[in-house]
Structure formats: structure tokens, C-alpha cells
Chain A
Amino acid sequence: MNFSYYPGCTLKTKAKDLDKYAVESAKALGVTLDEIGEWQCCGGVYPVAKDEIATKLSSVRTLVSARDAGKDLVTVCSACHNVIKRVNYDMQHDENVQLKVNNYAQFETPYHGETNVLHYLEMLRDVVGFDKIKEKVTNPLTGRKIGAYYGCLLLRPSKEMAFDDPENPTIMEDFITALGATPVVYAQRNECCGGYVTVEDKSFATKRCNAVMASAAEYGVEELITACPLCMYNLKENSTDHQLPVHYFTELLAEALGVKE
């Protein structure tokens, strides 16, 4: 199993663990992730306005690299995934964006959203299979009560992300079960952590994260997992009430597969 891989800026700096454990766990599962050459920052947030073109070009270049390599594209960071997946949706469905991007970029072969974009969790679920992962677990996380923090970006808008049921997702809980741990569903698992508004007003992120942590604690969660460096930051640095430990999901995967040094 061989994929093009887009790590993104934060995975090379503040979120090195998210990247490292993703790559090492993939190896243990027989999956090769080929990092795209000369990738550029996705921009962090999907440009929502209809007339945004230039802000989508870096994502399109990534998508074209994967297409030209003949591989599906795997992302890990929730934000990069949201941006790249939605830009790909535009390249499939929005004629204005298609036309302007292709006219500007002049790729050897024009691009119309041919690349299949998978989040790492989707790769685990749909390509490797959670049953297969279960077989490869050498260090089951038995007895650990883990809450999945989905946040916003993996799930919404569901029409474009097509990741899971946006209100009752199961993919991360199934992932937790495959690792031998006990998933705990709690009310705030798909509500926002405060995101980039922490730059505008840190106290608002604190309020959001306290709500998430309180909800998780109330349902008996003992630790949280996330796929997003910004959720990680907000939950770890901006929560003031309950402070449950927060891990990247890839770290737990590496631990269960026995490849975390």
C-alpha cells in the first residue's frame, strides 16, 4: 500500500509527534507514505468566499503532485485535510474555480479533482481495516477510557468532507476499540475548541475548552485524542478547569503497535 503524503507546516514544527508516529505506525502496518516534494502550506483555513482563487493554489499543487504520482493522497492534520479536501471538491464541482486555477497554473494536464484524498483515519478504516489493526496490536491499551475529540474540521461540512456521520461519528471510537481501549462518547466531542479565535481572544478558547473538558470528564473520559495541532494547543494550554491528558491519535496507535520508542 503506497500513498502520497502531505504533512503540513505544523507537523514539521510544533506537532512533530503527530507526523512521526503517523509515519512509523504506517510502516508497521505495511503502508508506505511518500512525502510530496516541495509541498507548500495549505493556508490553515479553507477560503470560504466564492471568489477566492489564489488562496487555493497551494492545495491544488499538492493534489496535482499526487495525481501525477498516480497515488491517493493521505493527510493527518485535521485542518490541512479540511482545506485540501474542500479545494478538491471545488476543483470537481465549481466551474469558475476550475477554469481560473487551470488557466493560471497551466499544469501539463489540467486538473479537475481526480485525486482521492484520504485522512489517515480513513486510510486506517477503509484501506487497512480496523480488524487488521487489531491483529497487529502487540500492546493493547486495555482498560484505558479514551474520548475522541473530533472538533469541527474532520466532520464539517459533511457534504464535502464525507468523513463520517457529522452528528454521530464512530470512526475514532472504532479506532480506539481496535487499539484495545474503551471509547467513551461525550456530548462536546464535535463542538469547536475555539480554533484560531484564540489569537483574537484567548479567554474565549478557554471557555470553549473548559466546556469540552467538563463534558468529557462528566462522561468518564480519562484521556482525549485529537488529530489537530490547534485543538491540542487549545485543550492543553487554554483549559483551566479539568485538565485531562490529550494525545495525538497517532501516538496511541504507535504505542499499541509497539513502535513508540
Chain B
Amino acid sequence: MSENTNLKESILRTSGVNPKKCMKCGKCSGTCPAFDEMEYHPHQFVAMVEKGNIEPLLNSKSLYYCLTCFACVERCPRSVEPAKLVEAVRLEVIRQQNQNHLTANDIPAKLDSEIPQQALVSAFRKYAK
């Protein structure tokens, strides 16, 4: 429990989000372009972090499907900014030792002749520390 409390506090601190502001309208998830790909949707990130039920989020592929498109941030009527929570939960994982989701060894298989540098730089920023 105390470990979970620390985890929750750490996530709230790095995200700057106050999940208590959420009124559970679901608009963030309704507008999320990654809805089908995410097993936990933006409104669930908000509710689960608030409850301290964070373990399932840490292990979810949802962390790597968020596009940081900020649609959920822009359209939330309560300025909760769910994308910042998704980011903070992902950072809890990849900031640990040896938890990078993407490494240089993965890159050759992903290259094609047209892929822009921007895609690789961005993916490393998102998926590795």
C-alpha cells in the first residue's frame, strides 16, 4: 500500500495532473484516436491513478499506443489533461534500469527508405530514457 501511495504521488508530481477534477464524462476516451488499440482508455488512466490501482497500467501496451496527440487534453471540459498522466505512468516504467521499450538494436528492422529522422528521434524520446 505504501509503495502504491508513493507511486501515485510520483505520477501526480511528474504529470502535474489532479485526477480529482475529473467528472467522468468520458469525452477524453470518446475522442481518443487510439481508443481501439488501448486496453485502458484515457478516462481509466485518470480513475485508476486516483484509486492507486496503477500496476495494471504499468504493464499495459496502452502506454505505447498513446500518440500524445493532445486531443484528450484539448477537449476535456475539466482541464484534467489525461495525456500527461499516460506520459507519467510510461515514465515510471522506462525510467527504471533496463526498461527501455525501444533500443538501437530494434531500429534496423523498422527502417524503410522514406522514414523521416523525426520519427526515430521522437520514438526514442517516448520509448526510452
Contacts and interface: CB of A to CB of B under 8 A. Distances in A.
Interface in B104-129: 110, 112, 114-123, 125-127
A128 interface: no
Q: Interface size for chain B: under 10, 10 to 19, 20 to 34, or 35 or more residues?
A: 35 or more
Contacts of A192: 33, 67, 69, 71
Given A45-B126, A49-B87, A197-B65, A156 B70 contact: yes
A45 B115 CA distance: 16
B122 A166 contact: no
Given A48-B87, A192-B67, A197-B65, A166 B125 contact: no
Interface in B87-107: 87-88, 91, 102
Interface residues of A, number: 43
Contacts of A77: 118
Nearest to A234: B119
Nearest to A237: B114
Contacts of A41: 121
Given A152-B71, A200-B65, A201-B65, A45 B33 contact: no
Contact of A237 (B91, B112, B127): B112
B33 A208 contact: yes
B16 interface: yes
Contacts of B122: 43-45, 79, 195-196, 199, 230
Chain A binding surface SS class:
loop
Interface in B1-38: 13-16, 33-34, 37
Given A50-B13, A229-B116, A156 B74 contact: yes
Interface string A153-192: 0011110000000110000000000000000000000011
B73 interface: yes
Contacts, number: 124
B119 A199 contact: yes
B16 A50 contact: yes
Given A9-B118, A50-B14, A199-B120, A55 B70 contact: no
A171 to B, nearest CB: 17
A48 B64 contact: no
Contacts of A199: 102, 110, 119-120, 122-123, 127
A194 interface: yes
A89 interface: no
Given A48-B83, A195-B69, A200-B64, A233 B119 contact: yes
A103 interface: no
Interface of A: 8-10, 13-15, 41, 43-45, 47-51, 55, 77, 79, 152, 155-158, 166-167, 191-192, 194-201, 204, 208, 229-230, 232-233, 236-237
Interface of B: 13-16, 33-34, 37, 64-65, 67-71, 73-74, 83-84, 87-88, 91, 102, 110, 112, 114-123, 125-127
Given A8-B118, A43-B121, A44-B122, 5 more contacts: A43-B122, A48-B84, A49-B15, A157-B73, A233-B119
